[in-house]
Amino acid sequence: MNSASGCSRLEAEVARIIGGIGTSHIPAIGLAMAKNQYRDPYWKPFFDAYQPVRAWLGETRPTVAVVVYNDHGLNFFLDKMPTFAVGAATEYCNADEGWGLPTQRPFPGNAAMSWHLIEQLAAADFDLTTCQEMFVDHGFVVPMQLLWPDAPSWPVRTIPIHVNTVQHPLPSPARCLKFGEVLGRAIESWPANERVVVLGTGGLSHQLDGRRAGFINKPFDLYCLEKIVHEPELLARYSIRDLIEFAGTQGPELIQWLIMRGALGADVRKLESNYHVPISNTGSGLLLLEKAA
């Protein structure tokens, strides 16, 4: 009996992924929140879609958020752009990017868990940049604000994971799905009783420059929102060139959603899905997936 009791305690003291959230991170969202435009007719359909997701977070009470995003020049630039970078700090500071966004209070980290993830990912042959100091930009901050807009303090500790979607060559969708699968196993081998939510941020289709500036492909975005739930391998078959053709030059941000999806494992349940095109010419998706018990 003592042995069985000991096993039960050990099994309880392991991190568990409770779900994943895919969400846009465009700076215009942060500006709308700063101006309290939640009820503005233009923004209301967008912000209303997040209410059920916030309710789910309130019920499940995650303790750690792993945020997969792409840095936009605040922490890395074209002269030094890692493919994957993982934060390993005790806190992460936000700074002015030039968008007029209010600077947010620091985000608490979980350095010990970060190093565990780094070690597991490196053991699976993913080459990483490890950051013991790391600024986080709107790609990280806007999703946190959307999900916990009124919290007096951040209710989760965070682990930022940057993915290069800016300086070619970019990691392939297939590689990012695999990265997510390894990440999920690494999270759930962390020996602490943590409830983890994984955020995949960015996109969906958008192009901010060139002859196709303003390009949005709603049918492709809706296809991605559908297939990523139970058939993410279909999206992983695309090349980066394919994603640029179908979703615009910034469309490869979908690979961050694939990392989130890979981390959840095979069995998930879709709880919420929404699609909206707010300002900034971006097809903005929202997806809440619950990991099977």
Residue 162 C-beta-side C-alpha neighbours within 13 Å: 29
Q: Say which residue the tokens 């977070």 belong to.
A: 57
- CA–CA gap between residue 75 and residue 65 (Å, rounded): 20
Residues 6+ apart with CB under 8 A from 254: 173, 202, 203, 204, 224, 235, 243, 247
Question: Do residues 275 and 221 touch, judged by C-beta distance below 8 A?
Answer: yes
Name the pairing type of β-strands 129-131 and 84-87: parallel
Burial class (CB in 10 A: 0-12, 13-18, 19+), 120: middle
Known catalytic residues are 138, 206
How big, in percent rounded to 5, are the helix, strand and coil portions of the chain? 40, 20, 40
Kindly give the residue spans of alpha helices, DSSP state H, lying in the chain: 2-12, 27-34, 44-48, 51-60, 111-123, 138-147, 173-187, 218-230, 232-236, 240-247, 254-263
Question: Do residues 18 and 238 touch, judged by C-beta distance below 8 A?
Answer: no
Q: Is 159 helix (H, G, I), strand (E, B) or coil?
A: strand
Neighbours of 290 (CB within 10 A): 18
Return the closest-CA partner of residue 28 out of 202, 278, 235. 278
